[in-house]
Amino acid sequence: MTLKEVNNKNRKKYFDAIILAGERKKDSPLLRRVNVPAKAFIKVGGIPMILRVVTTLLSSDFVKKIYLCGQDQELFRQINQIAKLIDQEKIIWIDSEKGPSLSTYKALKASGGKRPVLLTTCDHALLTPEHVNFFCKRALEIQTDLAIALAKLEYIKGTFPQVKRTYYTFKEGKFCSCNLFSFMNKRAFQAATFWQTVEAQRKNPLKIIKRFGYTWALLYSIGQLTLSKALERASQVIGCKAEAVTMHFPEVAIDVDTYEDLLLVEKIASEYKKS
């Protein structure tokens, strides 16, 4: 290996990041309960969730620029630190589209695909630089197009037995999404395009199942589909290679969808602050 090849191998690869901060429901029970104009403004530990996520990403070893997808830039500028970062162009504002998939694709196009792009959400209030560093490092190591962060349900429940999470059952066990994805190259943009199709057909799940094949759906339904085989099939359908990154941090799978989630996240954040 030449000196140039060694230097290229050792050179850190930086990521852009996308934060989805749009509102699916403008009048949700959670927003009414906490009396804030948008989910991103819910405070955890006295800090708006969006600011917690932004600070975490920029404090990591990998993220240098953030594309923030929201519905009202002037509203978000009311958070002084956010306004300052927008003015410094460390945050690039993206007007949200109708759904998260369209917003993601719009932000990916704006990024240009020159660097890998990390995707997360504004309600990922327990996300830390350690989580981001671990995920980005593994995403680079596994040499894939699309990296998906997953955590085992039994591991999450072992630490937080009261938590309620959606999970997927494979032969190896039950896995939860961690709301962390990485589009490693432009090929991975096809995943966002496929996501748009899924959102458009969400009221007709049979059409989605048909895309993957009934045999695969049957194997999944009886618990005989392995995660690796599922990702292999997903890669064929989506048109880019998808791989999982198993996260060993149970809190990284917890976001804020309900008031009960918020109470749990507040409790965890306060305990971590004490330690």
Per DSSP bridges, beta strands 146-152 and 242-246 are parallel
pLDDT at 40: 94
pLDDT at 206: 65
pLDDT in tens, the chain (275 residues): 443 443 444 355 899 999 999 876 666 888 888 888 899 999 999 999 999 999 999 999 999 999 999 989 999 999 999 999 999 999 999 999 988 989 999 999 999 888 999 999 999 999 999 999 999 999 999 999 999 999 999 999 999 998 888 889 999 999 999 999 999 999 999 998 888 877 766 656 666 777 778 888 888 888 888 999 999 998 998 999 999 999 999 999 999 989 999 999 999 998 876 65
Using alpha carbons, list the distances in angstroms from residue 144 to 45, 78, 155.
Answer: 36, 39, 25
CA dihedral 129, 97, 100, 210 (to 10 degrees): -150
- The two tokens of residue 123 are 């309600």
Give tens-digit pLDDT for 27-51: 688 888 888 889 999 999 999 999 9
For CA atoms 135, 140, 142, 146, the dihedral sign is: positive
Strand positions, DSSP E, 40-98:
43-44, 47-48, 63-70, 91-95
- The two tokens of residue 197 are 């199709």
Write down how long the chain is: 275
Task: Report the chain's C-alpha Rg in angstroms.
Answer: 19
Query: Per DSSP, what are the bridge partners of residue 274?
Result: none
Using alpha carbons, list the distances in angstroms from residue 74 to 25, 37, 40.
Answer: 19, 12, 14
Burial of 83 (0-12, 13-18, 19+ CB in 10 A): middle
**Phi, psi for 255 (deg, rounded to 5):** -120, -175
Query: Are the C-beta atoms of residues 138 and 215 closer than 8 Å to each other?
Result: no
pLDDT at 243: 95
| Helix/strand/coil (H/E/C) assignment for every residue in 134-173 | HHHHHHHHCCCCEEEEEEEHHHHHHHCCCCCCCCEEECCE
CA distance 238 to 195: 9
Q: Structural domain boundaries of the chain?
A: 3-274
Contacts of 27 (CB under 8 A, 6+ apart): none
The position carrying tokens 């630490």 is: 159
- % helix / strand / coil in the chain, to the nearest 5? 50, 20, 30
The CATH topology of domain 3-274 is Spore Coat Polysaccharide Biosynthesis Protein SpsA; Chain A (3.90.550)
pTM assigned to the model: 0.90
Measured between its terminal Cα atoms, the distance across the chain in Å is 45
The position carrying tokens 């927003």 is: 31
Query: Are the C-beta atoms of residues 38 and 31 closer than 8 Å to each other?
Result: yes
What does the DSSP 8-state code read for residue 114? S
- The two tokens of residue 81 are 């630190």
